[in-house]
Amino acid sequence: MENPFARPVPWYALWPVPVYSFTETFSSFCFASLYIKPEVVSTLCDVADECLWLRKQCLFTTRYQKAMKPEHFKQMQKAAITHMSHKIKDQWATNIQKIILKHFENVGKGWFSITEANPDTYAQGKMRKLLAVIRFIMQDTLRSFTMDSIV
């Protein structure tokens, strides 16, 4: 097989492109991609903002006014962990759910329908894939948040 870079450089710097169907290629891209609607992009941006908020938090209490007994230290840490876990469940996860509902409430039938009741249609739709991506982002954020808090 001939090396295409071994040929002399053309005078007009044009490179021959094989003939292809742009319409078919674009159609297959849209079928495979999630990023075909502005609702998806804005949802993922808002979810990323919520995840960045969580990453800035800390699971433990790290500032102390004075020296304390080990029992009091354990009690403070337990209270901080309980408080942060409630914040994650009640605020962070709820905010992400509200973001998804807000961005997709006006989307009718189609790939990104949040009102789909048929399990087979839902399994073939893109909303399932989008929710899987959001779940992976949330899991990664929780892992990073925990690791950063431990460090």
Domain segments of the chain as ranges:
36-150
pLDDT confidence of residue 97: 94
**pLDDT tens digit sequence for 84-134:** 999 999 999 999 999 998 998 887 776 777 777 788 887 887 888 889 999
**pLDDT tens digit sequence for 31-84:** 788 877 888 899 999 999 999 999 999 888 888 788 888 898 899 889 989 999
> Is the confidence at residue 14, as pLDDT, over 90?
no
> Is the confidence at residue 144, as pLDDT, over 70?
yes
Roughly how many angstroms between the first and final C-alpha of the chain, as a whole number? 54
Q: What is the pTM of this model?
A: 0.75
**100, 43 in Cβ contact below 8 A?**
yes
pLDDT confidence of residue 123: 82
CA distance 133 to 85: 23
CA distance 32 to 64: 52
pLDDT confidence of residue 137: 96
